[in-house]
Structure 1
Amino acid sequence: MMRLVIIASLATFHSNPLMQNSADTTLPPCPGSPNCVSTEATRESQRVPTVPFTDAPVAALARARIALLAEPRTKLTVERDGHLHAECTSFLFRFVDDVDIVVDPVAHVYRFRSASRVGESDLGVNRKRIARIAARLALPATSSK
């Protein structure tokens, strides 16, 4: 019985790589294809800038959630310890892109990654998406007064 529980736990753990280390907020690397952008990309053509924040990390995460969900056809699939993961589905062909936002509480910046699951080119869709999200996050935080 104990062996069955361990195997089931490992299968669940292995099936969702985003949940493998809940304290880990590193972004997956971009593949060699041009259909990925990231603040941590090693290639200049795939790099996007971070966005600073001044609010508390919990508030910054809430703002990131709102900015991310403002994207059409976006479903939040993981939210944990300063990390959001969502799936964005294209309108016409129903392609799914993976989007990650990390709230870095040490550097006080948002870090991003957006990547297509299939294909080679994305016609700039991922870069435009991150630019829109970054623009929403660059707006001043609203006070609750």
Structure 2
Amino acid sequence: MAKKRQNHPLPPCPATPNCVRTSHDFKAGMEKVFEKLTHIFEDEAHSFKVIDPKRIEIHAVYRIPIFHFKDDVDVIIEESGSKTTVYIRSASRLGAYDLGVNRRRVKRILRKLNSKISD
């Protein structure tokens, strides 16, 4: 589903398995991708804010229900020609292991985004 890029604008993940960073291209305009992504964050995230509306940089916070740990999700959306690239990074704030939560979250966000764009 996602392609890794060497020019990824988000910080690399640490050597621990509690972080995932990837990107995915969509055949849709940046405005549509941004709109659909904000709907996903409104439904799922504890909170989110648009950091830079020109570059379209978003920061969302997810809270793990049982332990109330917080995870950070950062997204940068860039448009190039007929494609829009979503760069995404999800990382736990505490601990070295997340039992795959961040990886599943990123896959779910990208799958939902793809589905919403296809509608």
Q: TM-score, normalised by structure 1?
A: 0.66
Indicate the percent of aligned positions where both proteins have the same amino acid: 34
Q: Which whole-Å CA distance do the structure 2 matches of 1:136 and 1:74 have between them?
A: 17
Which contiguous aligned blocks of 4+ residues in structure 1 show a shift greater than 6 angstroms?
none
Q: Which structure has the higher relative contact order (CA within 8 Å, separation 6+)?
A: 2
- How many pairs were matched up? 108
SS at match of 2:33: helix
- For the pair shown, the structure with the greater C-alpha radius of gyration is 1
Provide closer, same or farther for how the CA distance between residues 54 and 34 of structure 1 changes in structure 2, counting only shifts above 3 A: same
Q: Does the alignment pair 1:37 with 2:20?
A: yes
Q: Which whole-Å CA distance do the structure 2 matches of 1:62 and 1:140 have between them?
A: 10
**Correspondence for 1:56 among 21, 29, 40:** 29
Provide closer, same or farther for how the CA distance between residues 142 and 124 of structure 1 changes in structure 2, counting only shifts above 3 A: closer
Tell me, yes or no, if the aligned pair for 1:114 and 1:126 is still in contact at 8 Å. yes
Structure whose residues are more often strand by fraction: 2
What's the RMSD between the two structures over aligned residues?
2.0
- Segments of structure 2 that go 5 or more residues without pairing to the other structure are 1-7
- What CA deviation, in whole Å up to 9, does each residue of 1:6-37 have, x standing for no partner? xxxxxxxxxxxxxxxxxxx9212211111000
- Segments of structure 1 that go 5 or more residues without pairing to the other structure are 1-24, 40-49
Q: TM-score, normalised by structure 2?
A: 0.79
